[in-house]
A and B are shown apart, each in its own frame.
Chain A
Amino acid sequence: MLIRRAPDLTYSDVTPKSVYLDRRKFLRAMGIAGATAVAGKGLFDLALPPRTAFAATQFAGLIKSPFSTSEKPNSLNDVSHYNNFYEFGTDKSDPAKNAQNLKTSPWTVSVEGEVKTPRKFTMDEILKLAPLEERIYRHRCVERWSIVVPWIGFSFNVLLKLVEPGPKARYVAFETFYDSRQMPQAKYGGIDFPYVEGLRLDEAMNPLTLLCVGMYGESLPPQDGAPVRMIIPWKYGYKSIKSLVKIRFQEKEPPTTWNRYSSDEYGFYSNVNPNVDHPRWSQAKERRLGDIFTRNTVIFNGYGDQVSAMYNGMDLKKFH
Chain B
Amino acid sequence: MRSILTSKWTKVAVFLVCLTPFCDLIWRIIKSNLGANPVEYLQHATGDWTLRFLVFTLSITPFRKLFKLPDLIRFRRMLGLFAFFYVSLHFLTYLGPDQSFDPAGMLKDVAKRPFITVGFTAFVLLIPLAITSTAGWIRRLGGKRWQMLHRSIYFAAVFGVIHYYWLVKSDVRKPLFYGALVGILLLWRLGDWFFKRRSQAPARIAAPTVSVNG
Residues of B within 8 A of A293 (CB): 97, 100
| Interchain CB contact under 8 A, B35 and A81 | yes
Partner of B171, one of A145, A189, A287: A189
Q: How many residues of B contact A (CB 8 A)?
A: 21
- Check B199 for interface membership: any CB of A closer than 8 A: no
- Check A280 for interface membership: any CB of B closer than 8 A: yes
Contact with B along A84-118 (1 / 0, CB 8 A): 00100010110000000000000000000000000
Binds A, one of B53-61, B70-78, B106-114, B183-191: B106-114
Partner of A292, one of B97, B112, B115, B167: B97
A261, B166: Cα distance in complex, Å: 15
| Interchain CB contact under 8 A, A86 and B97 | no
| Interchain CB contact under 8 A, B113 and A190 | no
A111, B136: Cα distance in complex, Å: 75
Residues of A within 8 A of B166 (CB): 280
Contact with B along A57-80 (1 / 0, CB 8 A): 000000000000000001001110
- Check B36 for interface membership: any CB of A closer than 8 A: yes
With A282-B109, A294-B100 known as contacts, the answer to whether A86 contacts B36 (CB < 8 A) is: no
Residues of A within 8 A of B31 (CB): none
Partner of A280, one of B40, B100, B114, B172: B114
Across the two chains, which residue of chain B brings its CB closest to A78?
B36
Contact with B along A281-319 (1 / 0, CB 8 A): 110000101101110000000000000000000000000
Task: Write the residues of chain B forming the contact surface with A, with a CB cutoff of 8 angstroms.
Answer: 35-40, 97-98, 100, 109, 112-115, 166-167, 169-173
Task: Write the residues of chain A forming the contact surface with B, with a CB cutoff of 8 angstroms.
Answer: 74, 77-79, 81-82, 86, 90, 92-93, 143, 145, 188-191, 261, 280-282, 287, 289-290, 292-294
